[in-house]
Structure 1
Amino acid sequence: MAMAVQAPANAQAAYGSYVGIGGGLGLGDNSDFALVINGRYNILELPISVRGAAFIGDGSAFVPTVSYDYPLNFNTEVYVGIGASFASEGSIVGDKSAFVIQPGVDYTKPDSNLVIFGNAIFAIGGEEGGGTATAIQSGVGIQF
Structure 2
Amino acid sequence: MLKFFKSAAKISAVSAIACTLSFASTLSANAQTQRGLEGSYVGGSFSTGGGVTRLNVYGRYDVRQLPISVRGNVTLVDGSGSTQTFFSPAVTYDLPIGNKTNAYAGAGLSFGSGDSTAFLNAGAEKEIATNIVVFGDLTVPLDNNVDAGFSVGLGYRF
Q: If the TM-score is normalised by the length of the shorter chain, which range does it land in?
A: 0.7 to 0.9
Q: Give the gaps of 5 or more residues in structure 2.
A: 1-34, 79-83
1:116 aligns with 2:134: yes
Q: Whole-Å Cα distance in 1 between the matches of residues 72 and 47 of structure 2?
A: 14
| Percent of residue pairs bearing the same amino acid type | 34
Runs of 4+ in 1 over 3 A off after TM superposition: 30-33
RMSD of equivalent CA atoms? 2.3
Aligned length, in residue pairs: 119
Alignment partner for residue 65 of structure 1, among 58, 82, 90? 90
Work out the CA distance in 1 between the residues paired with 2:126 and 2:155. 10
- Counterpart mapping for 1:43-54 below 5 A: 43-54=63-74
Are 2:81 and 1:81 aligned? Answer: no
Larger Rg: 1
Note the C-alpha offset of 1:31.
Answer: 8.0
Which letter maps to 1:67?
T
Normalization by structure 1: what TM-score?
0.74
Q: Deviations over 1:59-92 (max 9, x none)?
A: 2211100000001011210000101000327xxx
Instruction: Name the one with the larger helix percent.
Output: 2
Q: In structure 2, how many angstroms separate the alpha carbons of the residues matched to 1:50 and 1:122?
A: 18
Q: Is the Cα–Cα contact under 8 Å of residues 106 and 120 in structure 2 kept in the other structure?
A: yes
1:70 to 1:24, Cα distance in 2 relative to 1, 3 A: farther
The whole-number CA distance in structure 2 between the counterparts of 1:72 and 1:40 is 18
State the secondary structure of the residue aligned to 1:57: strand
Deviation for aligned residue 1:98: 0.4
CA 1:45 to 1:73, structure 2 compared with 1: closer, same or farther past 3 Å? same
For residues 139 and 156 of structure 2, the distance between their equivalents in structure 1, rounded to whole angstroms, comes to 22
Pair 1:14-2:34 in alignment: no
Q: Please give the alpha-carbon distance, in whole angstroms, between the structure 2 residues aligned to 1:42 and 1:61.
A: 22
Per-residue deviation, 1:131: 3.1
Relative contact order, higher structure (CA 8 A, sep 6+):
1
